[in-house]
Amino acid sequence: MEKKNIRIKDIAQLAGVSSGTVDRVLHNRGKVSEEALQKVLQTLKEIDYKPNLIARTLGTKKNFRIAVIIPDPSLDEYWAHSELGVRQAITDWHQYDVQIKTYFFDLYHKHSFEQVTHSVFHAKPDGVVIAPIFYHEALPFLQQCQANKIPFTVFNTNIPEVAPLSFIGQNLYESGRVAAELMCLGNLTEGIFAILHINEDSVNSIHLLDKQKGFEEYVQEKKLPDVKIKVLNIKDTEDPKDTKGIHELLLDDTLAGVYVTTSKGVSFIAELLYQKKQKAPRLIGYDLLPENIKYLEAGTISFLINQNAKHQTFLGVQQLVNYLFLKKEPPQNNLLPLEIITKENLSSYLRSAVPHF
């Protein structure tokens, strides 16, 4: 019963070679005679060898440098959360020889993204974690990484063409469906449902369309003849020209619900509704930003769908480091659950920390 674990030494003994040779075979580092190779492969086939990852890590002195590329957190609450995930990872790994360096780019200027990726590439890190917001600019960079065998994990938005080590994110279409479902709850089945894309950095808009599509299709499937869906794009909430549509919308008595597809936008609407103190439409938004929490607790926002920026980022780094450090292959796709946050379950979410690994 007390099966001792099989060690490289054991394999060496069984195969009649030295442990060095076994190691060379295991990592096909070459410099192994055909004969020795066969002997080792043979014994490997016969037994179930699982390397001791802990010992491996200790044996490898290599000090990794990994680069995390995200939007500047000081410009955006959502990305501020994301950065917390990096922070977490940094402190987690600090004591080992893993240096995690964060590179910020300006969410609103693709040029700054290009600059950042250039300097990252120049720094030749051992791995990259990236939120590839700007598709067209990210693509060549990631291809470069690929060519140079720099592994990378991608989160927030995927770029499947470059086959990242892993992708962490959510299914946005389903996210839209969930929002629609929550909107329809309790026979809220007539009037206007508004979909608001607020303060979208234009690059993001493609993804917001996925949410919109999910929302629309759900409503369509429900066959609600008395529901009208209205879509509004608001570039800048500071610009009266842009917000005029919103004010009109909110005055409409038949407005039954508002779905804001961006995390930062919903508190703007909540604020307006809160001020006007009118019969409030149901309001659904994203993420546990401080402002959003405030209005969720006040009851102005009915639901928040949690995109869990912190967790996404943390997982991205985690999986990359595990891969580099422990040679542990992560799952290729990590679609996180679409968490529904209400006034009553909010605190249970705020309490529970990001899982530590």
Partner DNA sequence: TTGAAAGCGCTAACAC
Partner DNA sequence: GTGTTAGCGCTTTCAA
- The nearer residue to a second copy, 145 or 258, going by C-beta atoms, is 258
Chain centroid to CA 192: 32
Q: Which one of 52, 119, 202, 278 is in contact with a second copy (CB under 8 A)?
A: 52
Q: What is the DSSP string of 254-317?
A: TEEEEEE-STTTHHHHHHHHHHHT-SPPEEEEES--HHHHHHHHHTS--EEEE--HHHHHHHHH
Burial class of 112 by CB neighbour count within 10 A (0 to 12, 13 to 18, 19+): middle
CB neighbour burial string for 260-296, b if at least 16 within 10 angstroms, e if fewer: bbbbbbbbbbbebbbeeeeebbbbbbbbbbebbbebb
**Quick one: which segment of 36-44, 79-87, 157-165, 172-180 binds a second copy (CB under 8 A)?**
172-180
Report if residue 328 touches DNA, rule: CB under 7 A: no
Q: Which one of 119, 202, 332, 342 is in contact with a second copy (CB under 8 A)?
A: 342
Q: Judged by CB under 7 A, how many residues of this single chain contact DNA?
A: 31
- The nearer residue to a second copy, 3 or 31, going by C-beta atoms, is 3
Q: Hey, what's the torsion of the CAs at 9, 15, 16, 19, to 10 degrees?
A: -30
Q: Taken in order 261, 271, 219, 227, is the CA torsion positive or negative? A: negative
Report if residue 19 touches a second copy, rule: CB under 8 A: no
**Quick one: which segment of 9-17, 67-75, 120-128, 175-183 binds a second copy (CB under 8 A)?**
175-183
Report if residue 299 touches DNA, rule: CB under 7 A: no
From the list DNA, a second copy, none, partner contacted by residue 61 (C-beta under 5 to 8 A by kind): DNA
Letters for 142-171 (x = contact with a second copy by CB under 8 A, - = none) are ----------------------------xx
From the list DNA, a second copy, none, partner contacted by residue 347 (C-beta under 5 to 8 A by kind): a second copy
- Is residue 100 within 8 Å of residue 86, measured between CB atoms? yes
Strand 64-71 versus strand 127-130 pairing type: parallel
Which among 295, 220, 225 is positioned nearest to 265, based on CA atoms? 295
- The nearer residue to a second copy, 109 or 185, going by C-beta atoms, is 185
d(C-alpha 40, C-alpha 9), whole Å? 12
Min dist. Cβ of residue 74 to a second copy (A): 23
Write out the residues near a second copy by the rule CB under 8 A.
5, 50, 52, 54-55, 57-58, 94-97, 170-171, 174, 177-178, 180-182, 185-188, 218, 331, 334-340, 342-345, 347-349, 351-353, 355, 357
**What residues line the site for DNA (CB under 7 A)?**
5, 7-9, 16-21, 23-24, 26-27, 30-33, 35-37, 51-52, 55-56, 58-62, 327
